[in-house]
Amino acid sequence: MSILTWARTRSPWLIHFNAGACNACDIEVVAALTPRFDVERFGALIKGSPRHADVMVVSGSVPRKIRDRLKRIYEQMPTPKFVVAVGSCAISGGVFQDCYNVMEGVDKIIPVDAYIPGCPPKPEAILDGVVKLLMSAGY
């Protein structure tokens, strides 16, 4: 594989965006950093700016007000970029499917590469999803 792919898959930098979630998925994503689960052993770091990131981790059923912000942040990331949808609200709206302000699913706004189901998914499931994404990208 090319050296670029080798470099990119061994140190994916993540950005985490909460698109109107109840916070359960977000604290499991942050718990994936902590010493017991430790996503940093795969080379992943959580960064603050979308311009430094390779992978965007999105959680939440997307309410109307945050739709444009999500698209803006996706467009600010440099290619090649991946999107991971965490939690059943990000996949299809989850338990909020019949609510007037909810766009059901992140993939109606931006293209998604990996889905991690659960409500909320355990940190081990999030690590498993991230590793599978890296393997499919050529790890």
Partner 1 sequence: MSIEEHTKIVEDLVKEFGEENIYNTKVPRAYRAFAHVKREKLRDIVRYLKEEHGFVHITTISGVDMRENYEVVYHLRSEGFSFSLKVPVPKDDPKVPSIVDILNGAVLYEREVNDLLGIFPEGHPDPKRLILAYDWPEGVHPLRKEWDIQTIREKVDGKRWGKDVE
Partner 2 sequence: MSEREFVIPIGPQHPALKEPESFLFTVDGEVVVDVEPRIGYNHRGIEKAMESRNYIQNLYITERVCGICSNAHQTAYTGAVEEVGGIEIPERAKYIRVFMQELERIHSHLLWLGVAAHEIGFDTMFYYVWRDREVVMDLLEEVSGNRCNYAMATVGGVRRDLPRDKYPKWHKMLDKLAERTNYYIKVASTEKTILERAVGVGYLGKEDMIRLSGSGPNARSSGVPCDIRKLTPYLIYDEIPFEHIYVDNGDVLGQVLVRTLEVVEAVKICKWVLDNIPEGEIAVKFNPLQRLPEGEAVYLVEAQRGELIHYTISDGRNMPYRHKIRAPTLGNIPSLVERLKGGYIADIPITIAGIDPCFSCTDRMAFYDEGKDKTWTWTDVELSKYRKEWYSR
> Which residues of the shown chain bind partner 1 in the complex (CB under 8 A)?
63-65, 97-101, 104
Q: Among residues 41 and 100, whose Cβ is nearest to partner 1?
A: 100
Q: How far is the CB of 17 from partner 2 (least distance, A)?
A: 6
- Applying CB under 8 A, the residues found at the interface with partner 2 are 17-28, 30-31, 34-36, 47-50, 61, 63, 65-66, 69, 73, 94-96, 98-102, 119-120, 122
In the numeric block, the tokens 């994916």 are attached to 12
Q: How far is the CB of 66 from partner 1 (least distance, A)?
A: 9
* CA distance linking residue 75 with residue 79, whole number of Å: 9
Q: Is 57 helix (H, G, I), strand (E, B) or coil?
A: strand
User: Phi/psi of residue 33, each to 5°?
Assistant: -85, -20
First CA to last CA distance, the chain: 9
